[in-house]
């Protein structure tokens, strides 16, 4: 005879293919609390390549535009990032899990089907944003933001504001609500055990 423990588990949201870092999982009755983390504050380290845009707004996609970067400086990047602090209007990328007429946006894109209507911009909150590193055509920055903010769109819009193009090449979520890298578990069988799962 065997005693089996069945755990129902879900993750709080779909994430970017390039994303790493904190991902909130619900186990058992904790699944009911996951919706609380969709709109909570989050922190990211974003890495971007300037001078090129892609159809997915990240390095997974096809390069569709090339732009000049000779005028870019660390001061200009810092100044541009500061302009995005606060409540801003942001249009989600077409390669996203948002639905339009019952169909995921990325399904329209992958099937090469025209959208029935334009993607509507929405209001998002950037609480803090600061440059971490700038070198040539690469930069990284730290962002604290509210739920529903797309880092790929932020990179795209930031690059356009500087008179060039850009796309995201890396994304690390360092905090989601009360969870951060220091109190997170690695997704492997050694760490994901019943005694290690803390109930909040």
The answer to the question of residue 55 being in a domain is yes
What one-character-per-residue DSSP string does 55-109 give?
Answer: TTSBTTS-EEEE---TT--HHHHHHHHHHT-EEEEEPPPSSSS-EETTEEHHHHH
pLDDT in tens, 87-118: 999 999 999 989 999 999 999 999 999 999 99
Quote the pLDDT of residue 6.
Answer: 39
Closest by CA to 132, choosing from 58, 56, 43, 51, is 43
Give me the chain's average pLDDT, please.
Answer: 86
Residue recorded with tokens 């380290």: 45
The answer to the question of residue 113 being in a domain is no
Indicate the pTM of the whole model: 0.84
For residue 176, give both structure tokens.
């989601």
The residue annotated as part of the active site, out of 16, 75, 111, 137, is 16
DSSP secondary structure code for residue 120 in this structure: P
The answer to the question of residue 134 being in a domain is yes
Question: Quick check: is 16 catalytic?
Answer: yes
The answer to the question of residue 195 being in a domain is no
The answer to the question of residue 48 being in a domain is yes
The answer to the question of residue 99 being in a domain is no
> Using CA atoms, how far apart are residues 185 and 189, in angstroms rounded to an integer?
10
The answer to the question of residue 133 being in a domain is yes
| Highest mean pLDDT: which range of 22-26, 68-72, 186-190 | 68-72
Q: What CATH number is associated with residue 154?
A: 3.30.2350.10
**Contact between residue 33 and residue 188 where contact means Cβ atoms under 8 Å apart:** no
Distances (CA, A) of 49 to 58, 65, 111, 165, 183: 9, 12, 27, 9, 30
Mean pLDDT within 186-196? 63
Kindly report which listed range (40-49, 52-61, 85-94, 185-194) carries the lowest average pLDDT score. 185-194
Q: Which domain holds residue 74?
A: 20-93+119-184
DSSP bridge partners of 100: 103
Place 190 in a pLDDT band, splitting at 50, 70 and 90: low
Kindly tell me the sign of the dihedral angle through the C-alpha atoms of 95, 102, 119, 91. Answer: negative
The answer to the question of residue 71 being in a domain is yes
DSSP bridge partners of 129: 143
pLDDT in tens, 116-167: 999 999 999 999 999 999 999 999 999 999 988 999 999 999 999 999 999 9
Quote the pLDDT of residue 185.
Answer: 73
CB atoms within 10 A of CB 116: 9
Q: Please give the tally of structural domains in the chain.
A: 1
């Amino acid at each position: 005879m065997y005693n089996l423990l069945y755990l129902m588990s879900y993750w709080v949201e779909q994430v970017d293919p390039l994303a790493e870092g904190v991902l909130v999982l619900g186990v058992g009755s904790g699944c009911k609390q996951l919706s609380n983390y969709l709109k909570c504050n989050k922190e990211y380290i974003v890495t971007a390549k300037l001078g090129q845009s892609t159809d997915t707004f990240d390095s997974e996609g096809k390069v569709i535009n090339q732009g000049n970067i000779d005028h870019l400086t660390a001061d200009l990047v810092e100044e541009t990032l500061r302009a995005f602090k606060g409540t801003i209007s942001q249009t989600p990328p077409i390669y996203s899990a948002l639905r339009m007429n019952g169909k995921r946006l990325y399904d329209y894109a992958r099937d090469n089907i025209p959208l029935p209507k334009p993607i509507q911009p929405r209001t998002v909150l950037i609480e803090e944003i600061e440059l971490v590193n700038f070198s040539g055509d690469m930069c990284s920055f730290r962002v604290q933001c509210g739920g529903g903010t797309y880092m790929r769109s932020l990179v795209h819009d930031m690059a356009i504001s500087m008179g060039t193009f850009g796309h995201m090449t890396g994304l690390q979520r360092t905090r989601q609500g009360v969870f951060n890298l220091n109190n997170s578990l690695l997704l492997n069988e050694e760490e994901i055990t019943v005694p290690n799962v803390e109930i909040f």
